[in-house]
Amino acid sequence: MWILRRYAFCTFTRAAAQQIPVLSRVSREKYKEKRRMKYVLVTGGVVSGLGKGVTASSIGVVLKACGLRVTSIKIDPYLNTDAGTMSPFEHGEVFVLDDGGEGKITFASFTSVLYLYWGSWKTKPTQHSVRELRALGLIPHFLACRSAQPLVENAKQKLSQFCHVPVANILNIHDVPNIWHVPLLLRNQSAHDAILKQLDLLSVARHVDLQEWTRRAETSDNITKSVRIAMVGKYVGLTDSYLSVVKALMHACIACSLKPSIDWIAASDLEDDSAKLTPEAHAAAWKNLRGAACVLVPGGFGDRGVKGMILAARYARENSVPFLGICLGMQISVIEFARSVLHLDKANSEEFDPQTPDRVVIFMPEGSKTHMGSTMRLGSRRTLFQTPDCIAAKLYNNSEYVDERHRHRYEVNPDIVGSLEEAGLKFVGRDESGKRMEILELQDHPFYIGVQFHPEFKSRPGRPSAPFLGLVLAATGQLEAFVKRQQNGNV
Ligand code: GLN
């Protein structure tokens, strides 16, 4: 128990051989052994923010680059059955997986094989903590040392001597211009060879290929142009609450050789009340909003800032500013449109006003047997495009459907969809029943899209998420050309 409490922030990297080589009969048994799932346990002290998550995933990248199949498992030191009930103010963003699993995103990860330590030139603290680890029966095969400057060879020698870890297994993760360099840093120290050797996988691995990564890391170092994105949310004081959204914007921007420049706008600062109570904040918020090339309203819960988000959606709609509404952001755009265009003054979500006569967003629990007890519609669900002739379908590579992750309780009221569509707000993506609205697009607007799901959770470096890419392309005047290319099928 003590071990668990002290050190149970864990990330495993599971690695398995992907290719099945032609085998002689003698080596079959050996091969079977190698095909077995191997685990790399990454652990560090209880302090978070040392980059244990980055280290664990970078090891994953390097092993993948050697032709292995890699997945990662994160273990938190508490029973993590419902991370979704934690406040993003206290715990950062809640990340959602395909199967509806939720996790706290603050990367505090753990290891017995690879021990991560932040150190300067002083090696004593590392020695002490490794000794403590050994006393618990956890014998590290590797040490990953975080430092600002590259570690000098003599420090490595010392650590090796006192911690009983071979010099080749002491990895130094010093500060780099961006985290995409970390896999390269590991490769340059032959970490992949050392890890493969330890896992007895050297013979099934192929030569490490990190060309794509190198290109991306270097591109992102050399980008000079940026795009201003107004992020209008409730938790803007703690930007970690939107970590995946920020990463998704980063992936989309890098794909367009741009840097994201995010203006965080507290939605409540945009509201009329704030003009009276905090006029400076109000003026600054509007100045930021007007100065941005596009507007993003991310997901959220509760009614704080909703009025301000509605104002932001209205501003984007009326001024042809590219807009992306995610989950709550999509619901906001429906409320705004119903109020301004359909003149339903009281239009609202049941979440914010259960008594409203114009319930344009309603509570729609899912009667699924696999989600018993919980009212949240959680995890991967399919969205069918209603027509190939919409921006969203083209951004999603002209697919007929897309699977994205969800995390919500409320949804667009199907009874109001007819009037919204007649007035120009088209629901171009719906679930398989046709009753749940998944993607909306405003006609006669350069880019105004709302999605009921969270596309940010499936964005990856080198594989940017379609709605984010669309937003960035639209914000920089490149969307039309992109859509045309998609139409001609030559992307
Ligand atoms: N609060 C809204 C709902 O529950 C939106 C949720 C979200 O943005 N993740 O439907």
* CA 425 – CA 171 distance, rounded (Å): 54
Half-sphere exposure of 124 (CA within 13 A, CB side): 1
Q: From the CA of 10, how far away is ligand 1's center (Å)?
A: 29
* CA 64 – CA 67 distance, rounded (Å): 5
Q: What type of residue is 1? A: M
Q: Which two tokens stand for residue 68?
A: 């292995």
Position 145 scores a pLDDT of 86
* CA 128 – CA 137 distance, rounded (Å): 15
| Ligand 1 binding pocket mutation candidate from 410, 451, 454, 457 (most atoms within 8 A of CB) | 410
Q: Which residues pair with 378 in a beta bridge?
A: 407
Told to judge if 327 belongs to the known catalytic residues of this protein, a careful annotator would answer: yes
* CA 285 – CA 290 distance, rounded (Å): 9
Task: Sort 473 into a burial class: Cβ within 10 Å, 0-12 / 13-18 / 19+.
Answer: buried
Query: Exposure pattern of 427-459 as b/e (b: 16+ CB <10 Å)?
Result: bbbbbeeeebbbbbbbeebbbbbbbbbbbbbbb
pLDDT by 10s per residue, the chain, length 491: 222 222 333 444 555 544 445 556 666 666 666 667 888 888 776 455 667 788 889 999 999 999 999 988 877 655 545 555 555 555 567 777 777 666 543 322 223 236 555 555 567 777 777 888 788 887 888 888 888 888 888 888 988 998 889 999 999 988 898 889 999 999 999 999 999 998 888 998 999 999 999 999 999 899 999 999 999 998 766 677 899 999 999 999 999 999 999 999 999 999 999 999 999 999 999 999 999 999 999 999 999 999 999 999 999 999 999 999 999 999 999 999 999 999 999 999 999 999 999 999 999 887 654 555 567 899 999 999 999 999 999 999 999 999 999 999 999 999 999 999 999 999 999 999 999 999 999 999 999 999 999 999 999 999 999 999 999 999 999 999 999 988 876 54
Number of Cβ atoms within 10 Å of the Cβ of 42: 28
Helix axis angle for 211-222 and 243-255, nearest 10°, is: 90
Query: Exposure pattern of 124-143 as b/e (b: 16+ CB <10 Å)?
Result: eebbebbeebeeeebebbbb
Closest ligand 1 atom, CA of 298?
A: 8
Q: From the CA of 411, how far away is ligand 1's center (Å)?
A: 8
* CA 351 – CA 334 distance, rounded (Å): 14
Pocket of ligand 1 (CB under 6 A): 299-301, 327-328, 351, 407-410
* CA 332 – CA 348 distance, rounded (Å): 9
| Ligand 1 binding pocket mutation candidate from 231, 241, 301 (most atoms within 8 A of CB) | 301
For ligand 1, atom 1: residue with the closest CA: 301
For ligand 1, atom 6: residue with the closest CA: 408
For ligand 1, atom 8: residue with the closest CA: 299
Q: From the CA of 454, how far away is ligand 1's center (Å)?
A: 10
Task: Sort 102 into a burial class: Cβ within 10 Å, 0-12 / 13-18 / 19+.
Answer: buried
Q: From the CA of 475, how far away is ligand 1's center (Å)?
A: 26
Position 427 scores a pLDDT of 98
Closest ligand 1 atom, CA of 361?
A: 10
Q: From the CA of 435, how far away is ligand 1's center (Å)?
A: 17
Position 290 scores a pLDDT of 98
* CA 408 – CA 410 distance, rounded (Å): 6
Task: Sort 217 into a burial class: Cβ within 10 Å, 0-12 / 13-18 / 19+.
Answer: buried
Position 8 scores a pLDDT of 30
Q: 134 to each of 204, 223, 366, how far by Cα in Å?
A: 31, 45, 49
Position 388 scores a pLDDT of 95
Q: Are 361 and 351 in contact (CB under 8 A)?
A: yes
83 conformational bin, left if phi > 0, alpha if psi -120 to 50, beta if neither: alpha
pTM of the model: 0.85
Closest ligand 1 atom, CA of 351?
A: 1
For ligand 1, atom 5: residue with the closest CA: 328
Query: Which residue of the set 66, 163, 327, 390 is catalytic?
Result: 327
Q: 309 to each of 89, 160, 234, 318, 331, how far by Cα in Å?
A: 19, 55, 9, 14, 10
Q: From the CA of 218, how far away is ligand 1's center (Å)?
A: 37
| Ligand 1 binding pocket mutation candidate from 244, 334, 404, 408 (most atoms within 8 A of CB) | 408
* CA 342 – CA 359 distance, rounded (Å): 13
Q: Are 125 and 162 in contact (CB under 8 A)?
A: no
- What H or E segment, with its residue span, contains residue 320? none
Query: Phi/psi of residue 213, each to 5°?
Result: -60, -45
| Ligand 1 binding pocket mutation candidate from 87, 331, 376, 406 (most atoms within 8 A of CB) | 331
Q: From the CA of 50, how far away is ligand 1's center (Å)?
A: 31
Long-range contact pairs involving 34-37 (C-beta distance under 8 Å, separation at least 24)? 34/200, 34/201, 34/203, 34/204
Closest ligand 1 atom, CA of 376?
A: 4
Q: Does residue 15 sit in helix, strand or coil?
A: strand
